[in-house]
Amino acid sequence: MFKTVIPFGPQHPVLPEPIHLKLTVEDERITEAIPSLGFVHRGLERLADLRDFHQMIQVVERVCGICSMIHAVCYCQGIEELMAVEVPPRAKFLRVIWSELHRIHSHLLWLGLFADSFGFESLFMQFWRIREKIMDINEATTGNRVIISVNVVGGVRRDLSHAQIKWVLSELQMIEQDIKRLENTMLSDYTIKKRTVGKGLLTAPQASELGAVGPTLRGSGVAQDIRQTGYAAYGELDFEPVVETDGDCYARCKVRFRETLASIDLILQAIANLPAGETRQKVKGRPEGETVTRVEQPRGELLYYIKANGNKNLERLRIRTPTFANIPALLTMLPGMWLSDVPVIVLSIDPCISCTER
């Protein structure tokens, strides 16, 4: 059989961001996939030389446009650990609330894009309509829609008032209803199942061997979620990772769908247990030493390695984003699949290429 090499991307209708895959196909079956990156490499890690460690918060928020809040939480946790700063409990709970809001809107964005990838455009619109309400909550409580810039070393910059909490609760109730209304379509529609069940298989041993993270890992039946380590206030909340065992695109889709509902539950818990008090601890001095911190992003585990030497600039900042870890898993999912399934499989790991290349 003839081997043909087909370039997929960097510009492709299904990809919001540029990644190039060199697909070797036999007939219409894929036999090999080689990625090439570097289209949006910005060298943000090196900006630590030019910006001081407070200003870096705004820089790391811009690593990813969707989960910016969670990047900042991870970075601040690392610096706080190095400077031995104790974050006030209220700030920890507020970090959870905004992180989970980000997770919901990221998953809703993905669910919409995923529906779009197999051509279900009206479902895409439905999810994005719900997402808009989350953006409104972000804007009303923090001042910005996506890159909300509320984290500082030692706490958060904004607080939730009583009126705001009441309003957020009523909005969340509506959002939960709206999402549940789409559950029947997203998880049991014949056409959706036809496009996703059995596509892009990844078994549990493969997933952990290839270092897959987040919903890609949990969709294969490995119950690992960094939120289990109890960073911020997650340790005080009742939390179970969402797991599916099939390891195909459909399982990953179910994980993300159920995680949006789990996130709403987490926010409700966090609001119910929100302690009173300060939201920000004044910090003095400069960080020194090295540390590794991890948080759970919508796409999976995020790791920051921070090395500081007592100067106002950090010595080294290393960011390992979840998509970077999921690309090897993607490359093993593709061989054996039809060419027409590639967009669905590529999207099923929720690729965030700006994250990957930083």
Partner 1 sequence: MQGDIIAVGPETLVREAAQAKVDGYRLVTLSCVELDAETVDILYHFDKDLTLKHLRLTVPKGTPVPSISAVHWAAFLAENEIQDLFGLHFTGLAVDYEGTLYLEDEVRRTPFCRYSIRQSDKNTPAPDARQEMGEN
Partner 2 sequence: MFKMTPNVLRNLISKKATRRYPRQVRPPYESVRGELRNDSTQCNLCGACALKCPSQCITVDKTAGTWTCDPFACVYCGVCVDTCPAQSLTQKREYRPPAVERQTIFMQGEPRKKTKTPEAVESG
- Binding interface with partner 1 (CB under 8 A): 34, 36-38, 41, 43, 45-46, 49, 208-211, 224, 226, 228-229, 289-292, 294, 301, 303, 305, 307, 315-316, 318, 320, 324-325, 327-329, 357
Return d(Cα 214, Cα 243) in angstroms, integer.
Answer: 10
Instruction: Indicate which single residue of 184, 238, 277, 284 sits in contact with partner 2 (rule: CB under 8 A).
Output: 184
Site for partner 2 in 216-255 (CB under 8 A): none
Site for partner 2 in 112-151 (CB under 8 A): 122-123, 126, 129, 132, 136, 139-144, 147, 149
**Other Cβ atoms within 10 Å of 131 Cβ, number:** 20
Write out the two tokens for 163. 């009126």
CB of 203 to partner 2, least distance (A): 30
Q: In a 3-state reduction of DSSP, which class is residue 34?
A: strand
Q: Which residues pair with 307 in a beta bridge?
A: 290, 316
By a kind-dependent CB cut-off of 5 to 8 A, residue 37 interacts, out of partner 2, partner 1, none, with partner 1
Helix (H) or strand (E) holding 309: strand 300-309
- The answer to whether 54 contacts partner 2 (rule: CB under 8 A) is yes
Is the backbone of residue 155 left (phi > 0), alpha (psi -120 to 50) or beta?
Answer: left
- The answer to whether 185 contacts partner 2 (rule: CB under 8 A) is yes
| Chain mean position to CA 299 | 3
Q: Are 348 and 110 in contact (CB under 8 A)?
A: no
Return d(Cα 7, Cα 1) in angstroms, integer.
Answer: 19
Scanning 35-43, 181-189, 199-207, 348-356 for contacts with partner 2 by CB under 8 A, the matching segment is 181-189
By a kind-dependent CB cut-off of 5 to 8 A, residue 188 interacts, out of partner 2, partner 1, none, with partner 2
Q: Are 300 and 112 in contact (CB under 8 A)?
A: no
Return d(Cα 95, Cα 75) in angstroms, integer.
Answer: 13
Site for partner 2 in 11-30 (CB under 8 A): none
Number of residues forming the site for partner 2 (CB under 8 A): 31
Footprint on this chain of partner 2 (rule: CB under 8 A): 51, 54-59, 62, 122-123, 126, 129, 132, 136, 139-144, 147, 149, 157-158, 181-182, 184-185, 188-190
